[in-house]
A and B are shown apart, each in its own frame.
With several copies, the nearest count.
Chain A
Amino acid sequence: MKYYATVNDHTYEIIIEHPDRILVDGVEYHVDVQAINGRQLYSLLLNNASHEVVLDPASDQKSLYDILVGGQRYLVKVQDERARRLALADRNLKSPDGELAIRAPIPGLIVKVLVTPGQAVAEGEPLLILEAMKMENELRSPRGGVIHEVRVEARTQVAQGQTLITLR
């Protein structure tokens, strides 16, 4: 099987033919991965180097893995050949940046909404203030764009994962 694993905009081509030998961008590695008591902690031996890999349970069906290794967290997207071909074809049809939903990362109270629909925002610009655990948390824009919808208003309680603002 051939896989494409993308981290930080860098894609590795990984061919898994044997259970214990793989090719990474053409270079052979001896591998042995073993789950430790469940499906979140793995022991990985990679050419004898021993790594503990913690998988975030949020890692979902979309083959997106939130991986903690050596105190560093990486978001890795894994595609097999077919999925990759489909995705590449898809990218040619759509604009690279689609609509992005800003969701509540924790349940809390909206203290203030700082933007209005149609407003252009830069990456890192504060969008709203969410109070949780009695602390005010500023939610900032993950990229530049234009506010499409504002779905909440101040003094409303929001649930975790609820869409607050959409960005285009």
Chain B
Amino acid sequence: MFKKVLVANRGEIAVRILRACGERGLRTAAVYSDADRTALHVRYADEAYRIGPPPARESYLNIPAIIAAAVAAGADAVHPGYGFLAENEHFAEAVLATGLAWIGPPPEAIRAMGDKIAARRTMIAAGVPVTPGTDIGLTDAEAIRAAEELGYPVLVKATAGGGGKGMRVVNDPADLPKSLAAARREALAAFGDDTIYLEKFVPRARHVEIQILADSHGNCIHLGERECSIQRRHQKLIEEAPSVAMTPELRAEMGAVAVRAARAVGYCNAGTVEFLLDRSGRFYFLEMNTRLQVEHPVTEMVTGVDIVKEQLAIAAGRRMRWSQEDIRIKGHAIECRINAEDPYNDFLPQAGRITSLSEPTGPGVRLESGIYAGWEVSLFYDPLLAKLVVWGENRAEAILRMRRALAEYRIGGIHTTIPFHQRVMDSTRFQGGQFDTQFLDGPDGFRMSATPGRALERVAAIAAALIEHERGQEAVIFGASPAGERRGMSPWKQAGRIGAMRPR
């Protein structure tokens, strides 16, 4: 096994990996940008190395700086987490060229799956079903013709895209030019490449993905599926395992196809094969994520397999401890992504200081978090603050448990997606499992009402009046003089008075 692992990431996933290393007795090294000096991953690592200023380009995407940190630390392995450089084969190659182990798939597998078009061809050759689509590098005019041939709705996809960026569903030929332009702009800004292609859009489909584990001894198994249909603009918000749409037969079939897909590119380590699953049980390969996935904990909670610890063992050349027969799905797990976004205001990203924090705990609750009270959330990075994961004996218990965990979760100082998740858990459509990827975005989709339910309106009114009253009383204590005149007051006296008042 390794002696010291450098984690080339930040936030909750860096913390997750640091914990796994610590629990295997491995020393850990973190890297940080100037925005992250006091981040949780820096505090929890054994060592920490500065890699640059806040912008990701100059820090977490800065390959030479990260390699230099790994060398300075004397690390013998690098875990890339997800995002940033996780699916950058040049980074993987640089790590290997430095003589360090890469805790991820071979660079060739990253490359084979990273080129979406080549991947589609490889999959077709391996007998993996894919949706009909075009070649890459279409001009707008070619795209308009191709869309007619495929038939609407179509999906505009940036070749370099990912995480929902540079992707647009087009239902109406009239919207295509505008969508092409938007997808190109986004892809150019995010990835420096505005190459696009089209795919047939499968309506009313679910996004179901299969977790894969493969070792360097030729063993490859799947850990069942994750249901990831609750998305907003192709960004997953809620994931669960198992999927309500799954039968044991279909799981075995999709699992076998996913293993075939992984083997087709010589895969090794953890990976995820994403599929669209339509209402009649047909499924289509979407893409393979050649890295640890954000939502891996739901699989861990229903299978009992610690995927990150398996990654470490596989990268160290160990044989997998599990065969396909060992994998049993037990109970139900749900994950809610807690983002610094305002669900009442079109999910606009939020920045600011977390002034107070109460985290849910207790039976069946697992929190993967990168924040603490006092932490400053910046706009430099992804808005994901934490993942709240629950396990229940069955889906009903998991939903009830998630409701109570969300109700306990208090993040003060910034708006988060917690109220959104509370609404989804209360939604009968979600509870019934009757949803697809259009649940949030579609015409009959789920909406956060601008005017929330009236149930607690009176309580809110009373609370506001009481707080206003209390503040008024404090103003009286300070004297009713305007702010400018208060300045002469002793700071000590004032501090004492503030301390003596209500807050405990």
Contact = CB atoms under 8 A, between A and B. Distances in A.
Interface of A: 1, 3, 5-8, 10, 12, 14, 16, 22, 24, 29, 31-46, 48-57, 63, 65, 67-74, 76, 78, 80, 105-107, 111, 131-138, 140, 160
B453 A48 contact: no
B460 interface: yes
B29 to A, nearest CB: 8
A33 B456 contact: no
B504 A44 contact: no
B15 to A, nearest CB: 13
Interface string B184-212: 01100110000000000000000000000
Nearest to B383: A133
A106 B379 contact: yes
Q: Report which residue of B42, B190, B348 has the largest number of chain A beta carbons within 10 angstroms of its beta carbon.
A: B348
Contacts of A132: 348-349, 379
B419 A42 contact: no
17 contacts: A5-B464, A7-B457, A14-B462, A24-B462, A34-B504, A36-B503, A36-B504, A38-B356, A38-B503, A43-B42, A49-B47, A50-B45, A57-B413, A65-B460, A69-B463, A76-B464, A132-B348
A37 B462 contact: no
Interface in B326-384: 342, 344-346, 348-352, 355-356, 358, 372-375, 379, 382-383
Interface of A, helix, strand, loop or mixed by DSSP: strand
A105 B348 contact: yes
Interface stretch (B239-247, B253-261, B263-271, B466-474): B466-474
B72 interface: yes
B73 A37 contact: no
Contacts of B189: 131, 134
Given A36-B43, A40-B355, A48-B73, 5 more contacts: A12-B465, A31-B462, A44-B462, A48-B29, A132-B349
Contacts of A55: 467
B38 A73 contact: no
Interface stretch (B119-127, B142-150, B215-223, B404-412): B404-412
A34 B501 CA distance: 10
Nearest to A105: B348
A12 B463 contact: no
B16 interface: no
A49 B46 contact: yes
A67 B460 contact: yes
Contacts of B42: 43, 45, 50
Contact of A35 (B344, B419, B469, B504): B504
Contact of B454 (A8, A134, A138): A8
Interface in B269-304: none
B52 to A, nearest CB: 15
Nearest to B460: A74
B355 A65 contact: no
B489 interface: no
Given A43-B43, A50-B46, A73-B419, A138 B459 contact: no
Contacts of A35: 502-504
Contacts of A6: 461
B396 to A, nearest CB: 19
B201 to A, nearest CB: 20
B48 A37 contact: no
A132 B186 CA distance: 11
Contacts of A45: 42, 48
A1 B423 CA distance: 36
A108 to B, nearest CB: 8
B193 to A, nearest CB: 13
A122 to B, nearest CB: 15
B491 interface: no
A90 B350 CA distance: 34
Contacts of A74: 452, 456-457, 460-461
B182 interface: yes
A100 to B, nearest CB: 15
B355 A57 contact: yes
Contacts of A33: 463, 466-467, 470, 502
Q: Report which residue of B49, B406, B464, B466 has the largest number of chain A beta carbons within 10 angstroms of its beta carbon.
A: B464
Given A38-B374, A57-B355, A69-B463, A8 B451 contact: yes
B504 A72 contact: no
Given A16-B465, A50-B48, A72-B456, A133 B349 contact: yes
B415 interface: yes
B102 to A, nearest CB: 22
B418 interface: yes
Contact of B462 (A29, A111, A136, A137): A29
B465 A106 contact: no
A34 to B, nearest CB: 5
A52 B413 contact: no
A81 B229 CA distance: 51
